[in-house]
Amino acid sequence: MKDIATLHRTKEILAKHGFSFKKSLGQNFLIDLNVLGNIVGAANLTPDSGVLEIGPGIGSLTEQSAKQAKKVVALEIDQRLLPILEDSLAPYPHVKVIHGDALELDLETIVDEEFTQQGITDLAVVANLPYYVTTPIIMRILEARTPFRTLIMMIQKEVAERIGAQPGTKAYGSLSIAIQYYAEAEVCFTVPKQVFIPAPNVDSAVIRLNIRKEPAVKTLDEKLFFEVTRASFAQRRKTILNNLSSHFGKAEKEAVEAALHEAGIDPRRRGETLSLQEFAQLADALLPIKKR
């Protein structure tokens, strides 16, 4: 049986089913077995593992995960791909395809029914994500606090660099903080656009997010923590004092400055220089303003 992820086999499958790509769904199918092997390898799967995939396409990555895992559940939004997946993944009875939008499906119930209730506890997300919904999907999975050990995702290279960025770098921002709050982030390797059909306009990267058992920092109000981090990057060139004063209102400028001093942060600093711990301290110091 030939692997799905070769140029010849992929074209054969697409021609057989008369499939045409939809740009609006960000459909770019992988045609390089080495890259696929490296993606699955990054997840450290075992014969007892369960894998959730989002956007399986014609099943190229799904097939490689299925060769190593006990069960694979793939979520596919494009109804036109369902008969193709049924055909291409027929040799893998332990793969289940669910039709629906990953942002709207009940992930918690899916994980519970398809994995937990079946005694599968070593869980990973392994996916080639559509670029246009990368951030919402990652945050949806992390915020659901489902019991995944790791997320291995192929995403746009620039976004991967932002996710893994450290304080003091241009790429560091509220996205870096939001994801690193829940997980340890590591860019595994980059992927050239030539290994896709059709080729995307940008290069890709595979990122590993190892889920933390507890958030990276403790904060009194998690919602406020994220609000403060987003506000601190509203205008990157502005100081943190000016950004937060704009957010909470000019009348609160003195109170914001006092909170910054209480947190041990120089009001002249910019948001990109603050660590997660400093943002947590700042959010706690700003709590009295929020409660007004």
Q: Read off the amino acid at residue 239.
A: T
Residue ranges of the binding site for S-adenosyl-L-methionine: 28, 30, 55, 76, 101, 128
Which residues, in sequence order, are CB contacts of 125 under 8 Å at separation 6+?
51, 52, 53, 54, 141, 148, 150, 151, 152, 153
Of 188, 233, 248, nearest to 41 by C-alpha is 188
Q: Which two tokens stand for residue 12?
A: 């054969």
Q: How far apart are CA 165 and CA 100, in angstroms?
A: 32
Backbone angles phi, psi at 231, to 5 degrees: -65, -30
Q: How far apart are CA 171 and CA 176, in angstroms?
A: 8
Residue ranges of the binding site: 28, 30, 55, 76, 101, 128
Of 138, 165, 127, nearest to 271 by C-alpha is 165
Q: Which two tokens stand for residue 233?
A: 């990057």
| SS3 state at 262 | helix
